[in-house]
Each structure stands twice: as structure tokens, then as C-alpha cells.
Chain A
Amino acid sequence: MFKDNIKFIYGSEFHQFCQELFYALSGALVLFVLLEIAKPQIVVAYLNISFWLLLWLLNGIILLMFKKKD
């Protein structure tokens, strides 16, 4: 049902957005980890890193689904 309703078109704007979001989130997570090492607790006090990781993971899964369609 889910597969039938959503079509992943390689090279579409959605695919491009997912790719860019994945790079940006990966970069952000690395920067957050570096900030946490430099100043412990400063990131986790303001942001919930779990949400960022979940978003990054979902985005990665979507990108893999694009790959399957290839």
C-alpha cells in the first residue's frame, strides 16, 4: 500500500532535497559532537540530539529507498 502510493523518482527535486538534507544533518551532527566535546552539555541543554539523529536516520532510509528504485 505504502509502496504503491509513494513514488521515488531518482533525480527529482525531492531526491535532491533529501540528499542535501542528509549532508547538512551529517555535518550538523559532527559539529554538535565537536561542540559537546569542547563545552560539555551546551548542545544537549538547548537541543534534543535524539530528534536530529532520528531525522538523519529517516532521511538516510528514504535515500536508500531511492537507491532501490534504481
Chain B
Amino acid sequence: MKNLSFRLKTRLILWSIITLTVFALVYLAVLPFGRITYNYHQNGHNLSGGKGFFGNFTPLDRIDTTGENLKIIGDSIYFSLFTPRRFEKAKMTIVYRGFDYESYPIIEAGVMVDPILRNYRTYPISNYILDRLSTEWKSKSEDGLLLLQKEKKYSDVNDLLTNPPKSEELAFYNYQHNFPYQIDGYQAQKSLISLPDLRGAYQFYTYIDNEDLNFSADFLDLNQNADKNGDPVQIYVYGNDQKALAEYSLPDDGNKNDDAKIGETRNISINIPDLAKGVYKVEVKINDDLVSQNIKTTQSKLSFISRVWVYNRSSASINIFTSGAFVKAKVNDPSGVGVITLNNEYLDILETYKQVTADFNNPQKVNNITVFRPETVLETSGVFAFSGDSLFNPDIKKIDSSTDSNGIKYIVAGYSAPVSLGIWKKANVEMDISDVYREKGQTNFMISIPGLLAENKIVGAEIQSIQIELTGKSLIQKIKEYVQR
């Protein structure tokens, strides 16, 4: 080294730095051990000046970035995370503080699994309802499952599942278990029922007992939004075990532009015979450019899950029945602005794209909504049906910010309470991201505080930091799998 000229020494040093940088970048691109951690802090600095891995938090009207920490003022907020490869698990550690746990008891994180339905798989960050009940009721936590009992009856969750209480006494949170469901005295019908036109995606439960699963719809492509994937139709039928029994599809109508030229209607007809008695779920996976028209079925029990977009271009009066105690309503077209009725009381919807939330006055077991205008989107915590007789809800009650806990005696929750760090709290959220939607290396996440409305300008939570630890297959495991194939 001593005999080397200045030029050669300089060359060696500079090229060593470049080579090391390139090797480091290749290592960080491949991540051979399948593990990496990314950190976010609103005022965090990246010494190397890169744009980092966390995308911007959006929408901007639901966040306040003026202080030291990120403040959430509206539900929900979204961000993306760039990852150089696919991972199986994400452990999100979030340091936060809430400001009004009584009004906004639930904070959840989610990861996008379906870009068409914009479905996020959600996981709890904090649930004040459960935190409070844990101190008041008998509480037992085992293997990440929390069992809460108003009166001690069960030794553990398995004991409860083998000998379940009445369904109205039980509630779940971040937990799924399908008990055998049966409607006593049910008689299958043969007559064909017509349902109103629906826009966009929807899912429904239907009950089968000694009959075929029968459903037919014409799909109309409005071609109002350009989508590089077009506007295909996919329909899945699921049984009690959550596995798809049947799949139906239609490709795009051939026009992927947003020229508003309405395509021809195309039909999908489902007829599945010889199904075992029980509840089946049908998922119609379409984007908002598609309208389901001429919907016909012989199913006498048919309940739409959580959300329906009533197309109703003829401005007819449509009665909708729900098991939910509240309704979130929105109109997606100026022609839809007006009123709807909730148990015969008027609810004004005065602006487009603004969601209005209202509880039913004198809520009944079955509540009634009447829609008079086009393009009304309705959401609830339960199910909707277009006749009182066809309404049924096989789901166990879920604990959410609007749950009426009267009558509930047992709660099973996949939940661990956050750790207190003085004024801050630290929560760990473990997510399965093996099958999530990922485009151009970006995985989409959300943080939700149900009920928090941006127009009220109330801070729901302040986030000090987010750490996401990703784990997946190592390079050796991937090579082994490739060779075995």
C-alpha cells in the first residue's frame, strides 16, 4: 500500500466504497435471511437521504401532521410499505396514545387483501371495551385468546366452543368460529324472487335446506372509470368451512375506458344442487363500474352482509330491512341527495360522498330503511335484506364501537391488551401477510378508529412510532423449494 501512487490509492478506496454500497443494496434487495425491520416516525430522518419504505399517510384531511407526532382525526387512514420481496408475517409495534377511549374505544390496524373490494384484514391495536370488561368480568387469557365471562361457567375457550351458550349471550372479537346453524321450521320455496339493482361488490348469506342454491344476475358495465384490469366479474360460493365450493367469472366487456359507453348486459346463473343443510356465503366480486340487474333467486333466506349500494335509477321506493342498530348512508351521485327513512323517521343526506351515520330511534330486532333516491350506499354492523322474512344473521355478534353489550355474558377475543408506557401505550399486532395484495412492491396498510369523523376535528389518537418487523422464507428455503418443484 505504501508503494502505491496517490491515484491508485484513491481509486482503490473509492471503488471499495462503491462496491460495498452495491453489495449492501443487493443484500437489502434479496434479504437472504428473510427478515427485516422498518421504522416510521413522523419527523424521522434518513441519513442516506433515501425516500424510505413508508409511503405517505392519506387522506390528508384525516391526519394532522403539524405537531411532533402523527395525529389521526378521521377514520380510516392508509399508508403503504415498500418491501423488496414478499414476506409471510408482519409484526407491527405501534406506540400511540388515545384521547377519548370512551367515545372511540377501538383502534385497529389492517392490511389490504383485495384491491377490488378494497378489503382490509383487520387486527386489534386496542379495544377499550375489552380492557374495561377484563377488570370487571372473569377473565382468562391463553394462547392469544381472551375469554371474558360475566358469570363463570366455562374453564376455557374450548369448553365454551363444545358447549356454547345461547347465541345472543355470546360475542366475538377478532375471532371466528362457525357453530352449526339451523332455522327451525324452515320451508324451502320454489317461487322466484326479484331483488333491486345493486352497484359494485356485495356478499350475502343464504340458507339451504333441501333445495338448490339458485341465484342469477345480469351485469351491466357502466364504463365510468378507467381500470387497466378492466371490469371483470368473479363470484365465489363458500360453505360452512370458509372454502370456495364454486367459482363463476366473466371477463371485461371489452371496453376498459372511462367513456361512459354502457356495455351489453351479460348473465351469470348459479344453480348448485345437493348441498348439505346450512348457511352458504356468496361473494360477488366486482368493481363500482358494474351494476347487477335483474337479480333473481329462489332463496327465501338471503341477507346481504354489512354493505349494499342500491342503484335505483328509477327513484322507486325500496324497503330494506336490517338487524343492525345503526346505519351509515352515503350517496354517490347528485341525483341521490335527499332523504331516507329509518324506522319511518327521516334522515337527510345533503351532500354527495359524505357518509352520514345514524342510530335507529326505538331500535327493533328488525329495523326498516326506505330509500327513495338513486345511488345510495348503506352500511351497518349486521346484515340487510329486501324483505323482513328473508332477513337472517348467522354471525355471532361482534364487539365493535356500537355494540350493545346488554345481554352478552361471554366474549371470546383474539386480543392482547396494549402495554402502558406512561402516557403512551405500546401494542404489538401480528399480521399474516403471505397472501395479501402487493403491487410494485407496495403492501397497503390502514389504521382505523371507528366512528372518528374528520369534520369534528377531534384527535382520536396520536402515533409516536410504528415499527414493522417482516419475516419470511430465507434464500436457502426458497432455493430448496425451487429445487423440489
Contacts and interface: CB of A to CB of B under 8 A. Distances in A.
> Main secondary structure on chain B at its contact with chain A?
helix
Contact of B18 (A24, A39, A48, A51): A24
A18 B49 CA distance: 23
Contacts of A31: 18, 22
B22 A35 contact: yes
B48 A35 contact: no
A35 B23 CA distance: 11
B52 A45 contact: yes
A61 interface: no
Nearest to B22: A31
A28 B21 contact: yes
B51 interface: yes
Nearest to B85: A39
Contacts of A23: 11
A62 interface: no
Interface residues of B, number: 24
B29 A47 contact: no
Interface in A34-66: 35, 38-48, 51
B385 to A, nearest CB: 47
B6 interface: yes
A51 B49 contact: yes
B322 to A, nearest CB: 45
Given A24-B18, A39-B29, A48 B48 contact: yes
Contacts of B26: 35
A1 B301 CA distance: 89
Interface residues of A, number: 25
A40 B25 contact: no
Interface string A5-45: 00000000100110111011001100110010011111111
B329 to A, nearest CB: 40
A16 to B, nearest CB: 5
B14 A21 contact: yes
Interface in B20-62: 21-22, 25-26, 28-29, 48-53
Contacts of A40: 440-441
A36 B13 CA distance: 24
Contacts of B25: 32, 35, 42-43, 46-47
B15 interface: yes
Contact of B48 (A24, A42, A46): A46
B84 interface: yes
B48 A47 contact: yes
A16 B48 contact: no
B10 interface: yes
A46 B28 contact: yes
B18 A28 contact: yes
Contacts of B14: 20-21, 24
Contacts of B437: none
Nearest to A21: B14
A27 B11 CA distance: 12
Contact of B10 (A16, A28, A39): A16
Nearest to A12: B6
A16 B7 contact: yes
Interface in B76-128: 82, 84
B440 to A, nearest CB: 7
Interface of B: 6-7, 10-11, 14-15, 17-18, 21-22, 25-26, 28-29, 48-53, 82, 84, 440-441
15 contacts: A21-B10, A23-B11, A24-B15, A27-B18, A28-B22, A31-B22, A38-B29, A39-B84, A40-B440, A40-B441, A44-B51, A45-B53, A46-B28, A46-B50, A47-B21
What 8 A-B pairs have minimum CB-CB distances, sorted nearest first? A48-B49, A24-B14, A46-B50, A20-B10, A42-B29, A39-B29, A28-B18, A16-B7
Interface of A: 13, 16-17, 19-21, 23-24, 27-28, 31-32, 35, 38-48, 51
Given A20-B10, A32-B25, A45-B53, 15 more contacts: A17-B10, A19-B7, A20-B7, A24-B11, A24-B14, A24-B15, A24-B18, A35-B25, A35-B26, A39-B29, A40-B441, A42-B25, A44-B51, A47-B49, A48-B48
